[in-house]
A and B are shown apart, each in its own frame.
Chain A
Amino acid sequence: MGQSLRPKKGKTKTEATVRQMISIGGESGTSSNSSPDCFQFQLEEPTQLIEKVDMGTLVFGDFSIERIIIMAQIGALGFVPQNITKKILTIVESKQTSIQGSVIEKTVNGNVVVEICL
């Protein structure tokens, strides 16, 4: 924590970026420095649709079930990591807000990194 995890514009995606993000938070997802209510994370159980999304693709979170599903216009991409789900839901309830964000990185391991802000 204590460091922005948003990749700089034009930066090449690297596995290191992902590893850094994971290790900084000690979790598979973490709060962003830009706002206390922004979160960046790799998706859990990503679907094959992540191959069809690009950086900048808008995403939305569905919290009608116990886990949060990240959706893009083309369909469901995967889940928010379980270790930050409860934290996000608490903010969603207190702020009565929706979950929106974008894909900020495609990783070399075939996943994507998403940032959502509440």
Chain B
Amino acid sequence: MRKKNNNNNQFVLPMFCEGCYYKLSGRCEGATNLQIFESTGKSFVGCANDNKSDFLVEVIKRQRIPKSSNQSQLKFTENYIAQMIERKRTPIISIDNRIIVVSLTTFLTKDGKLKYKNKKELTHALGVDKDSKIGLIGTCDDDRLEKFWAISESENLWRKVAEFGFEFVTSLTLSVYEIFPPFAQKFNQDRNFLSHDIFSGLGIPCIPFLMPSDEKDYKHISNWLNQRSDIHIVAVYGSSYTRSQKQFSQLLERMRKINNALQRPLKFMVIGVAKRNQIEMIFSEFDAIIVNPKASMQAIKAGNRIDEKLNEIFAREFTNSELIVPNIKAIETFCMGLSK
């Protein structure tokens, strides 16, 4: 049964779902547009997914509000943090006192297990000093994240990650695409939030990824953050929004809505934005930290030097390794100049 909404082309699909958790929580009314209806099929139109109800209950059973997100331990002075990738060659470079990050894509095997036994192995793979300050960001493909999730308890992976001594971690980033069935969107949001609470409970400073997909999610995010009042840094995933100005405007709008939903100031850790004009737009509105792999990728993959305006210039006079730190410094300087 469909009821045409006169205001636009959306369809209201009032599939009633008795005892549906997401409906009862006010976070979902089922599919509201034709695209979801057509692309997911009638069986997934509501807010429930009977095949995954056991998994949902497992997530709810594990809910804890951690005493703290440990973010008071984070004293970021930088406005740019370089994401590093594996680098096979020597020499080992010194990144001085700055923090770098590695993503779960680098950190996990394709089976969802930890690729490195300890921090020494990780720093060796990255080609940086063994005492380097490293953060872990939860960006990764869903396939690997699902495998990680499935074995995380049985293989004690949360604690093993904690033992690496990361300066901070972010929550996971299981996808929340608008074309996903409503249940999948909310379920992944909940698992991402739960991962924050698990890491926080282990004493690591943790930054939650906020991935709203519809208007109801902002209220939920606001409520979730209010239950965790020491969180002042949140992460947003920018990589999917950088290809066009229209997409990027959507990212900015989401950040505004998140900001407005809270009664306290937030700092945004923006992952994956690397274009000069887009970085400028972020800093013109928000207290932000930019995280991207541009400095290391341009050095290692292309042999490019990055100048003070973020132009990439082929630098044959330097080895690729020699370019990494100057590239980081160039982006740091650029971002520092824009920050408020």
A interface residues with partner B (beta carbon < 8 Å): 45, 47-49, 60-66, 69, 71, 73-79, 92-93, 96-100
Min distance, Cβ A70 to any Cβ of chain B, angstroms: 10
Are A96 and B26 touching (Cβ within 8 A)? no
Residue in A60, A64, A73 with the greatest tally of chain B CB atoms within 10 Å: A64
Interface CB pairs A-B, < 8 A, 11: A48-B19, A62-B63, A66-B223, A73-B53, A74-B19, A75-B53, A76-B19, A76-B20, A76-B23, A96-B65, A96-B67
Min distance, Cβ B157 to any Cβ of chain A, angstroms: 20
- A60 vs B60: C-alpha distance in the bound complex, in angstroms? 7
Other than the given A62-B21, A76-B23, 7 more pairs (CB < 8 A) read A47-B18, A74-B19, A76-B24, A76-B25, A92-B65, A93-B227, A98-B64
Among A45, A62, A66, A96, point to the contact of B60 (Cβ < 8 A). A62
Are A98 and B54 touching (Cβ within 8 A)? no
In chain A, what residue has the closest Cβ to B62?
Answer: A98
The 4 A-B pairs of least Cβ separation, nearest first, read: A75-B19, A49-B19, A47-B19, A76-B21
Are B19 and A63 touching (Cβ within 8 A)? no
- A65 vs B66: C-alpha distance in the bound complex, in angstroms? 16
Are A96 and B64 touching (Cβ within 8 A)? yes
In chain B, what residue has the closest Cβ to A77?
Answer: B19
A100 to chain B: which residues have CB within 8 Å?
Answer: 61
- A82 vs B53: C-alpha distance in the bound complex, in angstroms? 26
Are B19 and A64 touching (Cβ within 8 A)? no
Residues of B21-39 whose CB lies within 8 A of A: 21, 23-27
B interface residues with partner A (beta carbon < 8 Å): 18-21, 23-27, 48, 53-54, 57, 60-67, 190, 193, 201, 220, 223-224, 227
In chain B, what residue has the closest Cβ to A62?
Answer: B60
- A47 vs B16: C-alpha distance in the bound complex, in angstroms? 12
A65 to chain B: which residues have CB within 8 Å?
Answer: 25-27, 220, 223
In chain B, what residue has the closest Cβ to A92?
Answer: B65
- A74 vs B190: C-alpha distance in the bound complex, in angstroms? 19
Are A73 and B57 touching (Cβ within 8 A)? yes
Min distance, Cβ B60 to any Cβ of chain A, angstroms: 5
B54 to chain A: which residues have CB within 8 Å?
Answer: 73
Are B66 and A96 touching (Cβ within 8 A)? yes
Min distance, Cβ B229 to any Cβ of chain A, angstroms: 10
Among A47, A48, A62, A97, point to the contact of B25 (Cβ < 8 A). A62
A71 to chain B: which residues have CB within 8 Å?
Answer: 21, 57, 60
Among A49, A60, A63, point to the contact of B61 (Cβ < 8 A). A60
- A92 vs B63: C-alpha distance in the bound complex, in angstroms? 10
Min distance, Cβ A57 to any Cβ of chain B, angstroms: 12
Given contacts A64-B190, A65-B25, A76-B24, contact A48 B63 (CB under 8 A): no
Are A48 and B18 touching (Cβ within 8 A)? yes
A98 to chain B: which residues have CB within 8 Å?
Answer: 61-64
- A103 vs B213: C-alpha distance in the bound complex, in angstroms? 35
B227 to chain A: which residues have CB within 8 Å?
Answer: 63, 93
Are B18 and A64 touching (Cβ within 8 A)? no
